[in-house]
Chain A
Amino acid sequence: MIKYLLQLADNALILGHRLGEWCGHAPEMELDIALTNVALDLTGQARSLYQRVAELEGLGKDEDDYAYLRDAWEFRNALLVEQPNGDFAHTLVRQFIFDAYNYHLHHALTQSKDEWLAGFAAKSLKEITYHLRFSSEWMLRLGDGTEVSHAKLQAAIDNLWTYAGELTTPNEIEKELASHGICPDLSQLKTAIEAKMAEVLAAANVTAPVGAWMQSGGKDGSHSEHLGFILAEMQFLQRAYPGLEW
């Protein structure tokens, strides 16, 4: 259970961190505000989840211990969320793939047999519903907008699609928890997630690569080279001056 909650928390934390990198640099002011909103929601969700982990572990740790004092191999986020921002099309495609998955996941988690998790999912679902709407609308804008935006969107899909599969392929923890009704069976959820993706991609007039190889490993702690740098930056103060209140 703890590993599963960390997986959810790490996804939210790392993606929120990446979106925070846009703050002050987005293509327009309204987008700057919107991307920061999503970053705020995700970071807030990560906080709740780490607090719950601390409570369950009962080792006297707090939320920051999980975010700031673990090394890369202890992080359980999917490879997708740690990928660099790239241009706005890459950020958007990364967000859309994650939102489509995250929306259906949290929708299903509201039925979890774990009461806390069901409550958390219901609360977060409101935010995630907005995220999916935001990213879907922008997929349409870029796909339908100009030749340039269409080409950039398609390039981003081609680059990032390889990270989509990990989200919907259950690892051992997810299989185990699904058998107890704590989390959904991802193989069942996969159909709904892929249908949503197909619907938006078709409306945006772009295509997903057929038969693409799907990278995996993040959920079990085997990451891309990017995560180490994210953590080096994020954890700098906590590592340089251990044990202080900030």
Chain B
Amino acid sequence: MFATLIKIRLHLQRNFCFLLQPYQIMTSVNLEAIFQSKIDDEVKIEPKDWMPDAYRKTLIRQISQHAHSEIVGMLPEGNWITRAPSLRRKLILLAKVQDEAGHGLYLYSAAETLGADRDELVQQLLTGKAKYSSIFNYPTLNWADIGAIGWLVDGAAITNQVMLTRTSYGPYARAMVRICKEESFHQRQGYELMMAMSFGSPEQKAMAQDALNRWWWPALMMFGPHDSESTHSDQASKWKIKRKSNDELRQNFVDVTVPQAEYLGLTVPDPDLRWNEERGHYDFGKINWDEFWNVVKGNGPCNRQRIQARTKAYEDGAWVREAAMAHAEKKEQRKLQPEAAVKAA
């Protein structure tokens, strides 16, 4: 009964709020209670719904960080497009990096539904105000890195993103459904590349092992600090933005990925890694959090290069974007004032 009343109230609030007089507007306490009850009832929050400022800010921060990660993430993989060793691999890699640009666009649009402006968000990335996934501050040094990124980095991202398909903000959840489909395709392609390398010549297998050695720990760091250290987790769980903890997700990833590495005949670079029968999970070694924070602070091997590359693309492209805008405006004016345009010509 209560739920029905809430739903009716929500319907009125959503669709007839313009009829409300100031004295009738519910207090923020009420609004917040309604908001939380929607979350508790698994009703998605939509762009025009009332939401607490902090919820909006958290989402803009998270969605834009995700968008930035997609765009910056194009760089390490794009690094190998011109050196892909077969036409088939070249097409796969081109299509994959293109998908990432598409995800970036899609996510910036989702952030815009919350009132953010894409250009401002991009500025925050370029000035270092906004973060992106630290994993992309590592270099791609041999061809197997392209496989390792698909397998491990996309694999870790999917573990996180599958959870986000059920996140409480509607546009974000729906964006994630589509993105997850493409990411799992990428993950399979990455693993298939790792198979070709691992079962190939000794040199190819050495490349695959080298790639695993370098990407394993950064992939585990992708899930973020331990739950005990994470600053954003509590509120994000209450709002169902995040539905599983960093450590739970990391454990899921390790449990799924270790047997895949075994199948490839590769060694996971962790001497403490072993199956724990009692827990029904793999135990794994200590993550080097000093390295993690160091890379977050900007001292990873490629932090500077990534931002410089994005800044260069942005600055070099300014005149192109300005030209496109100017042309669109002129076209509009010519439509409105055909005579003046003819005279001017």
Contacts and interface: CB of A to CB of B under 8 A. Distances in A.
Q: Which of A29, A31, A40, A63 has the most CB of B within 10 A?
A: A29
B87 A141 contact: no
Interface in B295-326: 309, 312-313, 316-326
Given A20-B82, A145-B322, A146-B326, A43 B90 contact: yes
B86 interface: yes
Contacts of B319: 146, 148-149, 152
A24 B75 contact: yes
Interface stretch (A175-183, A210-218, A233-241): A233-241
A64 B91 contact: no
Summarize A's interface: helix, strand, loop or mixed.
helix
A244 interface: yes
A246 interface: yes
Contacts of B321: 27-28
* Interface size bracket, A side: 35 or more
B317 A17 contact: no
Contacts of A237: 83, 85, 143
B94 A40 contact: yes
A39 B101 CA distance: 15
A140 B97 CA distance: 28
Contacts of A241: 201, 203-204
B201 A234 contact: no
A246 B89 contact: yes
Contacts of A244: 200-201, 203-204
A46 B87 CA distance: 9
Given A20-B81, A21-B82, A29-B104, A246 B196 contact: yes
Contacts, number: 139
B211 interface: no
B87 A63 contact: yes
Contact of B85 (A21, A32, A36, A238): A238
Contact of A29 (B71, B196, B326): B71
A170 interface: no
B91 A145 contact: no
A27 B204 contact: no
Contact of A146 (B104, B204, B317, B323): B323
9 closest residue pairs by CB, A with B: A27-B317, A145-B323, A149-B323, A24-B74, A237-B85, A24-B78, A27-B320, A246-B85, A36-B98
A9 to B, nearest CB: 10
B174 to A, nearest CB: 20
Q: Which of B203, B323, B325, B331 has the most CB of A within 10 A?
A: B323
B264 interface: no
Nearest to B143: A237
A88 interface: yes
22 contacts: A21-B82, A23-B78, A25-B78, A25-B313, A26-B317, A27-B316, A29-B105, A33-B105, A36-B101, A40-B91, A64-B87, A141-B324, A142-B327, A145-B322, A148-B323, A234-B83, A237-B85, A237-B143, A241-B204, A246-B86, A246-B196, A246-B197
Given A47-B88, A141-B324, 13 more contacts: A21-B81, A24-B74, A29-B105, A30-B105, A37-B98, A40-B94, A43-B87, A44-B91, A50-B87, A141-B323, A145-B322, A145-B325, A241-B203
A57 interface: no
Q: Which of B97, B321, B327 has the most CB of A within 10 A?
A: B327
A145 B327 contact: yes
Interface in B38-75: 71, 74-75
A144 B204 contact: no
B85 to A, nearest CB: 4
A245 interface: yes
A47 B313 contact: no
Given A24-B74, A246-B85, A144 B91 contact: no
Contacts of A149: 319-320, 322-323, 326
A27 B313 CA distance: 6
A233 B94 CA distance: 16
A30 B179 CA distance: 17
B322 A23 contact: no
B220 to A, nearest CB: 26
A20 B323 CA distance: 23
B330 interface: yes
B102 interface: yes
